[in-house]
Amino acid sequence: MTARPSFWSELKRRNVFRVGLFYIVSAWLVLQVAETLLPIFDVSDGALRAIVLVLALGFVPALVFAWVFELTPDGIKRDKDVRTDPAVKQQTSQKLNWATLIAAVLAIGLLAADRLLSRSDSAPALATTPDRSTGATEGPAIDPASIAVLPFEDLSPNGDQGYFSDGIAEEILNVLVRIDGLEVASRTSAFRFRDRDDVGIPGIARELEVRHVLEGSVRKAGDAIRVTAQLIDGESDKHLWSDTYDRSLTAENVFAIQDEIATAIVDALRSSIALPVDDGLEVGARTDSLDAYELYLEARALYNARNRMGRADELLARAVELDPEFAAAWAIRAAIYMLDDEYGDLGVSRDVSVARFEEYAAAALTHDPDNALAIAVLAFGRQTEARFGRARHDISQIVDDLERAIALDPKNASARNWLGVTYGETGELEAALAQFQACNDDDPYYAPCAENVYDTLTSLGRMDEALAAYLRALDAGATTDEWVNPSLLAHFDLKAHFMFVTNQSLYLPGWRRHGELWTAWKNLDGDHETLAGEIRSWADQHLDPSGSTSHVVNLLAPLGGSFDLAPFSILIWGEGYGKYRQSPEFRRRVQDLEIHAYWREHGFPPQCRAIVTTTGEEDFECE
């Protein structure tokens, strides 16, 4: 009687161990192949997890299969039904060994190749990844002649002088902007990093794409002021210069501190970069009255934010009462009244607003003939009056004045935006786009320019670029007042987005047929005058015209009907606004701004051409 073989020896005889090892190595090889190939076809990570699960679940059945079945020269048969020669059994074992070895070699080779390729691909990324311990980075080269001025920290006892400390920083920024060869991050961009201690100076420098950062603090208490400032190399996180200024609190000392800081910064930078020698760097907004200057700084903060403009006007009224020759205060006061239609809460008629912005701009220019803001306000205010048919002004003179304002202050975002809008009146969309893009490059978070970039691209028919610019503006938070371009949304069939926007407060909140409005926008060649008339009538009854008029007009003008108000200048040259361009209101607009004469001198836009009437007079027509 022979002894029954042990379970262990039976496992070996049936090659269960070899099959198990072959299964594990083969599964590893399958995973290596899947991990390499699946990303090429954009297959989700879930597919790889599913493969792992299937392979894991298959391990036990593979062992059971090896126990139950036997590989013979005649194929796979049940083990109990065959009597395999030991030599054949040995050959089967060797085949499994070789198969396992080949699978292992392939898996190891694929793993090594993948590691080498990954290291090669990641090398550039590692080179641009900052060393947060030192602040160093080996990313794209940043101009060494570049700087950002962060808002200065308010260290006053009551912590209520933020507008003053911000004002000090902004004045220094405005001085540095005038240095040829020095790139200065915009106020809007730099001031976003208020209270962002989590980022650190190297991180701020990287985000703003500048080499140097100026930070500081202001402590104003009683009749004394202390200003501390330090210039930091954003790459090495090392201080290049720092100083503390303790002075008695007078207007003269405040301006002197700002001038000294600006001069010290330029001197510190000259040690490593070439900057022109300037005999004197001087803050522009000057007055002999400290009280007037403080009122001005508080008002300017509100004006920059386009917030509580009525309050800003009250502060400036007191400032110019204390110093009637304070040109910078007069200029901002003029801007507040010029923008009253769009941002204001002044509670005065448009006639009063016009009279005051002209009066205040003239006062600013009397005391400072080169005040760029006053020149720009006066020019764009007149352009706005002519655009709405309330006055007649020569657009050539308006363009000249705005160009002069930019020559005086190239970083003035408002002036660039207003010049771009004025070019839009004449149909010079490429010139308009250049202004908006320059403004957007200088100040990427200034919403009007960001919005006007994608509006102009849309009107030019460059729809893919327009959509990309629109998404960038949304991503940066650089949008205002629910502004949107319906032509862009219709082109890309963004129905839900369109209907969401037209439900908002500045469009048609409460209107019940937004789907019908969308259908009309998708087929602007159709007859939609009845729908436009119904919406206009409903809007007159239910909406505040001071808040919604421009948005509703932009929405309805392409549908036909009455054009008693003008759409936005950039939009009117888009493909969808052809009906408006052929309306009597458009013709009146061209006449009130003397655009026809401008065209004869500078050339006609693509949609318009010169004609001669039957009476021999020069005229124009537009498609």
Q: Which amino acid is at 245?
A: Y
Whether 119 and 162 share a structural domain: no
Boundary (domain end) residue, out of 270, 285, 308: 270
Contact 322, 368 (CB under 8 A): no
Q: Measure the CA–CA gap between 517 and 554, rounded to whole angstroms.
A: 13
Query: Do 42 and 74 belong to one domain?
Result: yes
Would you state the pLDDT for residue 377? 94
22 plus 56 within the same structural domain:
yes
Which of 98, 128, 158 finishes a domain? 128
Q: What is the pLDDT of residue 429?
A: 95
Residues 119 and 153 in one domain: no
Residue 246 lies in a domain: yes
**Which tokens in the block code for residue 409?**
């202050």
Tokens of 462: 């460059």
Give 311-315 contacts, CB < 8 A, sequence gap 24+.
312/336, 313/337, 313/346
Q: What is the pLDDT of residue 378?
A: 94
- Provide long-range contacts, Cβ within 8 A and 24+ apart, for 59-68: 59/20, 59/23, 59/24, 59/27, 62/19, 62/20, 62/23, 63/16, 63/19, 63/20, 63/23, 65/19, 66/14, 66/15, 66/16, 66/19, 66/20, 67/11, 67/14, 67/16
Task: Determine the Cα–Cα distance for residues 82 and 75; give it in Å rounded to an integer.
Answer: 11
> Which of 232, 220, 243 is CA-nearest to residue 154?
220
Q: Do residues 355 and 349 lie in contact, with contact meaning Cβ atoms separated by under 8 Å?
A: no
What is the domain range of residue 208? 146-270
- Cβ contact 104:25 at 8 Å: yes
Does residue 559 fall inside a structural domain?
no
Q: Domain check: are 192 and 163 in the same one? A: yes
Assess if residue 109 is contained within a domain: yes
- Residues 155 and 260 placed together within one structural domain of the fold: yes
Beta strand pairing status for 224-233 and 212-221? antiparallel
Residues 116 and 169 in one domain: no
The answer to whether residue 478 is domain-embedded is: no
Q: Are residues 101 and 197 in the same domain?
A: no
User: DSSP label at 577?
Assistant: G
Residue 493 lies in a domain: no
The tokens describing 51, both together, are: 């493969």
Helix (H) or strand (E) segment spanning residue 101: helix 86-128
Mean pLDDT of successive 10-residue stretches along the chain, which has 623 residues: 57 66 73 65 59 73 67 59 58 64 66 51 37 43 85 82 83 81 84 78 88 88 86 87 87 83 81 60 71 89 83 94 94 91 78 92 94 94 83 89 92 91 94 93 85 95 94 83 85 93 88 93 91 88 68 85 75 90 86 88 91 86 89
Pair 198, 238 in one domain = yes
Instruction: Show Cβ contacts of residue 344 under 8 Å, excluding neighbours closer than 6 positions.
Output: 309, 310, 336, 337, 353
Q: How many helices (H) and strands (E) does the chain have?
A: 27, 10
Cβ burial of 65 (10 Å; 0-12, 13-18, 19+) is middle
pTM of the full structure:
0.70
Parallel/antiparallel/unpaired status of strands 146-149 and 212-221: parallel
In a domain? residue 183? yes
Answer yes or no: do 118 and 207 share one domain.
no
192 vs 448: CA distance, rounded Å = 17
Same domain, 114 and 14: yes
* CATH number of residue 200's parent domain: 3.40.50.10610
Question: For helices 290-304 and 251-270, what crossing angle results, to 10°?
Answer: 60
Angstrom CA distances, 125 to 36, 210, 235, 259, 588, stand at 20, 20, 17, 42, 58
What is d(CA 343, CA 336) in angstroms, rounded to the nearest whole number? 8
Q: Are the CB atoms for 574 and 458 separated by under 8 Å? A: yes
In a domain, 63, yes or no: yes
Is residue 116 situated within a structural domain?
Answer: yes
In what helix (H) or strand (E) does residue 620 lie, and over which residues does it extend? strand 618-622
- Do 154 and 162 contact (CB within 8 A), yes or no? yes
* Residue 186 pLDDT: 84
Which pLDDT value is given to residue 13? 63
Domain final residue, candidates 240, 270, 300: 270
163 shares a domain with 104: no
d(CA 59, CA 313): 80
> How many domains is the chain built from?
2
Long-range pairs of 539-542 with CB within 8 A, sequence gap ≥ 24:
539/508, 542/510
